[in-house]
Amino acid sequence: MRPTSLVVLLVAATACMDAAPQSRTSDDAAGARSRMVETQLRGRDIRNPAVLEAMRRVPRHEFVPEHLRRLAYDDGPLPIGGGQTISQPYIVAYMTEALGVERRHKVLEIGTGSGYQAAVLGELAGSVYTIEIVPELAQQAAATLKSLGSANVHVRAGDGFGGWPEQAPFDRIMVTAAPEEIPQPLLDQLAPQGRLVIPVGEQGAPQWLTVVDRTAKGIVQRRTLAVRFVPFTRGR
């Protein structure tokens, strides 16, 4: 009996040793997210409790390349390949708060990138439809979102200029790359009382985060924040 008991104890001890680093890593990441929320978001001007909680829940490090994960909760953007970046946490929170997402909303995102912004939107919206022009990034983002259980986020590879007509209209639209002008198809796919948040401006020139509302009196635009985004690219 003793040898058998010894084997059982050794296996159990090994399992505990294997589980410990993973548990510590999860705890470390959760702590880093809490610090990010308190210092970078709440410590500035992000006030919406639902947005803060979504940012606290979504593991940003899962959307960052392995060799950059130690920087995942720092106050800045990071490269993700394909000439694209994952936005600074503050910008993600700012744009999400500006969009005013509720659970009843259907959301369109143009520029999936890593999938991080889509995951945050998915915590708040009923459904999210997101388009990425770089096929490899779209595939990777879809895999990451699936692994995290973001079942209400739907990813498509393609040119986002034309939106997603089959699913239109959208209550909310977010664009995470900067065109020189707002694409007309996106305005056309915005539902009554809908809202679009988009950075607008030429590369190398000032870009402005612009909030567009479709009101009973028509389209109303306002600039909110000076930003710098990658260019809005088109397919061939």
Catalytic residues: 87
Burial of 69 (0-12, 13-18, 19+ CB in 10 A): middle
Q: Which of 140, 144, 120, 131 is nearest to 52 (CA)?
A: 120
Q: Measured at the alpha carbon of residue 32, what is the angle toward residues 26 and 34, in degrees to the nearest 5? A: 105
| Burial call 192-202: b when 16+ CB within 10 Å, e when fewer | eebbbbbbbbe
How many Cα neighbours within 13 Å face the side chain of 199? 23
User: For residues 45 and 227, what is the distance between their CA atoms, to the nearest angstrom?
Assistant: 16
